[in-house]
Amino acid sequence: MTAVCPGPHHEDEVVLLGHGAGGQLTAELLEGLVLPALDGQSGPLEDAALLPGHPELVVSTDGFVVSPLFFPGGDIGSLAVHGTVNDVAMRGARPVALSMALIVEEGLPLADLRRVAGSLGAAARAAGVPVVTGDTKVVGRGAADRVFVNTTGIGQRHPGLRPSAALARPGDAVLLSGPIGLHGTTVLSTREGLGFESDIASDSRPLHRLVAALAPLGERVHTLRDPTRGGLAAALNEIARDSGVAVEVEEGSVPVPDAVRSACELLGLDPLVVANEGCMVAFVAPSAAREALDALRALPEGREAVRIGEVPAGGPEGRVTLRTLVGARRVVDMPLGELLPRIC
Amino acid sequence: MTAVCPGPHHEDEVVLLGHGAGGQLTAELLEGLVLPALDGQSGPLEDAALLPGHPELVVSTDGFVVSPLFFPGGDIGSLAVHGTVNDVAMRGARPVALSMALIVEEGLPLADLRRVAGSLGAAARAAGVPVVTGDTKVVGRGAADRVFVNTTGIGQRHPGLRPSAALARPGDAVLLSGPIGLHGTTVLSTREGLGFESDIASDSRPLHRLVAALAPLGERVHTLRDPTRGGLAAALNEIARDSGVAVEVEEGSVPVPDAVRSACELLGLDPLVVANEGCMVAFVAPSAAREALDALRALPEGREAVRIGEVPAGGPEGRVTLRTLVGARRVVDMPLGELLPRIC
């Protein structure tokens, strides 16, 4: 019906898998459709937002659609806790409560639902966060794929800790709390039966204790981000864009487990774009870099923390550069995003 | 595999549509499976829970899977705002923020997604509640039915207003803010093409202004509940159970629009079990009944507020009774719940 004048909205277009993958297409969907629809609201959609009237509280929401439901290192239940706990933590907050909403397909074995709910409950207890409210909806066979989980988290900010994706500054050290690529390659390998799943497991874990360990550094902690969908490449690009800085990373210092590297080579994937669910990027003032690394390494989940790069002075705004093992430099682009659907 | 010893968990059982319909099966699923999995958490799952450490704040979450997406009087976007605003309001709170999480099926026309997001944004603005954070996931064709929406709401309680489903007391007046049955019959009629949809429209609307109007009555407002899934029958049964009281309702005083009555007769449904999205039940102390009715009727959304019954002294705990038009009494049971899937 729009053949004569398709107009600016491309009404004949449809949602693509890549729109949900956390990369460039997701950004276009948000900026071109979702945010304008919410125009007049209080601000941009962020992973965790400040609660109006309660600036010490942050709130974050996430839908989990991972397939398969169960994978080495976790399942959709534990992932739904870790993902939201981590989004809350990345705003410098201690999670204080979670909500849980299930959308279940008719015919799901109750044993599977019990396993998912049990895992979710166990992960929440282990993280020390109560699930205070919930909802369950059931749809007919074929109207959903087994079970989807939404969690929303509310967190209380650590006094003095005010990290933001817009606060990275020239001179900052870029720290990474652990190896990358484990979650995405594990889920993909399990789903497709590639065989790597016997060697690797998702890194899904809560990161709020790492954030608490950085709290004494206060405002010298500039930016925290967990590189989930779109991987380290997306996280660094978002920070570079939102802070108006360049980011330089040393390829040799980014820990990539051998099994992840093998899986990525087979799949033609760059480990930098593979989703993680248990590591954290921190941009800290140079004076705090040593202390921050020590604080991270003092916890089991930060034992392998390393410095992977820095924010150069006067670098091109929004540009992420990798110094490769052979001394060359390459630009790390924002991933387009169609590579790994339903990874979380 | 469990033929010899099926055990107490019935591991061969599967999720049924009725498990999500808000009635007895939903209660069994929650009490038998979900709540035990969350054992050790801070308390029972409620529609809106108090935020630990912040007793003036409440939080509520809801997944919306209504089919069709668009129906007379609303759509999944506006419904996702009203449903959560109302859950928050029923705890005596003014909503202060919403989160929004979308699960979208690949291939959904962007025009439909724009319409849903636009309606959600417009409903939030009309309710005066900002959408502060969000998430979008995309799943492959056939893995979801077009779009599901989750909203989580955070509200701030009105000073002195502390309603709870457990606080109804003998002598209380039972008030209803408007006619019942419109939402459920409208969605069902639209979905099945029954033809009633030209005469009726969903009552989907925010109710927080009605709650604000009751705030001056303070603790004489004992219980507020919006009778959504399972209808008025489920809401009254839950209150009777949680408060340990009987409830008596006068059938002739419950407003049922003619079109709802016709639709229910055709469908063999009791209007008492049909979902509503824009009316509220209030249990108030007898001394506050007149003042509460006047306060409700002063707002457009409460113009048709009526007193429909009371809490008798010494009645059987948990029993809801209807005094019929011909003077008989019948027990209003908790609906089993398989009648109206995907109504919200």
Residue A11's pLDDT is what? 52
CA-wise closest residue to A46 among A130, A163, A209 = A163
Tokens 């929401």 identify what position?
A61
User: What band does B339 get if pLDDT is binned at 50, 70 and 90?
Assistant: low
Residue A222's pLDDT is what? 98
Domain count, chain A: 2
- Residue range B231-243: average pLDDT? 96
Contact B113 A140 (CB under 8 A): no
Residues B231 and B327 reside in one and the same domain: yes
**How many other CB atoms are there within 10 angstroms of residue A27's CB atom?**
18
**Residue B84 and residue B152 in contact, taking contact as beta carbons nearer than 8 Å:** yes
Rounded Cα–Cα distance for residues B66 and A197 (Å): 37
B160 touches chain A (CB under 8 A): no
Residues B189 and B114 reside in one and the same domain: no
Residue A26's pLDDT is what? 85
Does B22 fall in a domain? no
Residues B142 and B84 reside in one and the same domain: yes
List the single range of A138-152, A183-197, B88-102, B116-130 with lowest mean pLDDT. A183-197
Residues A206 and A314 reside in one and the same domain: yes
Q: Is the pLDDT of residue B46 over 80?
A: no
User: What band does B6 get if pLDDT is binned at 50, 70 and 90?
Assistant: very low
Instruction: From A157, A190, A222, give the residue that closes a domain.
Output: A157
Residue A124's pLDDT is what? 97
Helical (H) or strand (E) element with A131: strand A131-139
Contact A17 B138 (CB under 8 A): yes
- Residue range A8-27: average pLDDT? 77
Does B225 fall in a domain? yes
Residues B203 and B153 reside in one and the same domain: no
Residue B112's pLDDT is what? 97
Helical (H) or strand (E) element with A305: none
User: What band does B276 get if pLDDT is binned at 50, 70 and 90?
Assistant: very high
* CB < 8 Å from B in window 43-62 of A: 43, 45-54, 57, 59-62
Q: What does residue A101 show for φ and ψ, rounded to 5 degrees?
A: -130, 125
B66 touches chain A (CB under 8 A): no
pLDDT in tens, B91-119: 999 999 999 999 999 999 999 999 999 99
- Residue range B177-192: average pLDDT? 95
Q: Is the pLDDT of residue A90 over 50?
A: yes
User: What band does A199 get if pLDDT is binned at 50, 70 and 90?
Assistant: confident
Which member of A10, A52, A118 has the closest CB to residue B130?
Answer: A52
Residues 6+ apart with CB under 8 A from A34: A45, B102, B117, B134, B136
The domain containing residue A94 runs over which residues?
Answer: 47-157
Mean pLDDT of chain A: 92
Please report, rounded to a whole number, the percentage of residues in chain B having pLDDT higher than 90: 80
User: DSSP letters along A24-39, please?
Assistant: HHHHHHIIIIIHHHTT
CATH number at residue B252: 3.90.650.10
CA-wise closest residue to B324 among B236, B253, B231 = B253
pLDDT in tens, B16-45: 988 887 778 888 888 889 888 887 554 445
Rounded Cα–Cα distance for residues A248 and A311 (Å): 6
A201 touches chain B (CB under 8 A): no
- Residue range A181-191: average pLDDT? 95
Residues A114 and A240 reside in one and the same domain: no
B136 strand-pairing partners: B102
User: What band does B299 get if pLDDT is binned at 50, 70 and 90?
Assistant: very high
Q: What does residue A64 show for φ and ψ, rounded to 5 degrees?
A: -115, 125
**How many other CB atoms are there within 10 angstroms of residue A5's CB atom?**
6
Does B109 fall in a domain? yes
Does B162 fall in a domain? no
> Per the structure block, which two tokens stand in for B71?
């129906």
Residues in chain A closer than 8 A to B26 (CB atoms) = 136
Instruction: From B157, B185, B201, give the residue that closes a domain.
Output: B157
Q: Is the pLDDT of residue A45 over 60?
A: no
B131 touches chain A (CB under 8 A): yes
Residues A224 and A135 reside in one and the same domain: no
Q: Is the pLDDT of residue A22 over 80?
A: no
Mean pLDDT of chain B: 92
B298 touches chain A (CB under 8 A): no
CATH number at residue B143: 3.30.1330.10
A144 touches chain B (CB under 8 A): yes
Residues in chain B closer than 8 A to A39 (CB atoms) = 121
Contact B15 A107 (CB under 8 A): yes
Helical (H) or strand (E) element with B274: none
> Per the structure block, which two tokens stand in for B154?
């955070």
pLDDT in tens, A272-329: 999 999 999 999 999 999 999 999 999 999 999 999 999 999 989 999 999 998 989 9
Does B18 fall in a domain? no
Higher local confidence (pLDDT), A113 or B36: A113
Tokens 């929303």 identify what position?
A152
Does B15 fall in a domain? no
Contact B139 A102 (CB under 8 A): no
pLDDT in tens, A46-58: 568 999 999 999 9
Rounded Cα–Cα distance for residues A151 and A79 (Å): 10
Residues A191 and A294 reside in one and the same domain: yes
**In one letter, which amino acid is B38?**
L
Q: Is the pLDDT of residue A43 over 90?
A: no
User: What band does B198 get if pLDDT is binned at 50, 70 and 90?
Assistant: confident
* Residue A99 DSSP SS3: strand
Tokens 């599901």 identify what position?
B148
Of the residues A9, A38, A141, A147, the best mutation for testing chain B's interface (the one with the most B CB atoms within 10 Å of its CB) is A38
Instruction: From B122, B157, B192, give the residue that closes a domain.
Output: B157
Which member of B9, B46, B139 has the closest CB to residue A65?
Answer: B139
CA-wise closest residue to A239 among A312, A310, A165 = A165
Q: Is the pLDDT of residue A10 over 60?
A: no
Higher local confidence (pLDDT), A3 or B326: B326
Of the residues A15, A78, A115, A147, the best mutation for testing chain B's interface (the one with the most B CB atoms within 10 Å of its CB) is A15
Q: Is the pLDDT of residue B8 over 60?
A: no
Rounded Cα–Cα distance for residues A17 and A20 (Å): 6
Residues in chain A closer than 8 A to B134 (CB atoms) = 34, 38, 45, 61
Helical (H) or strand (E) element with A138: strand A131-139
User: DSSP label at A47?
Assistant: S
Residue B196's pLDDT is what? 81
Residue B337's pLDDT is what? 66
Rounded Cα–Cα distance for residues A80 and A151 (Å): 6
B244 touches chain A (CB under 8 A): no
Residues in chain B closer than 8 A to A226 (CB atoms) = none
Residues A141 and A237 reside in one and the same domain: no
Q: What does residue B250 show for φ and ψ, rounded to 5 degrees?
A: -90, 115
Rounded Cα–Cα distance for residues B164 and B153 (Å): 18
Count of residues in chain B: 344
Q: Is the pLDDT of residue A251 over 60?
A: yes
What is the distance, to the nearest Å, from the Cα of residue A283 to the centroid of all Cα atoms in its chain?
16
Does B165 fall in a domain? no
What is the distance, to the nearest Å, from the Cα of residue A322 to the centroid of all Cα atoms in its chain?
20
B41 touches chain A (CB under 8 A): yes
Residues B202 and B266 reside in one and the same domain: yes
**Looking at this predicted complex, what is its ipTM?**
0.93
Q: What does residue B264 show for φ and ψ, rounded to 5 degrees?
A: -65, -35
Does A249 fall in a domain? yes
Residues B207 and B314 reside in one and the same domain: yes
Which member of A21, A59, A100 has the closest CB to residue B133?
Answer: A59
List the single range of A334-338, B244-248, B299-303, B323-327 with lowest mean pLDDT. A334-338
A75 strand-pairing partners: A70
**In one letter, which amino acid is A133?**
T
Residues A68 and A189 reside in one and the same domain: no
A248 strand-pairing partners: A310, A321
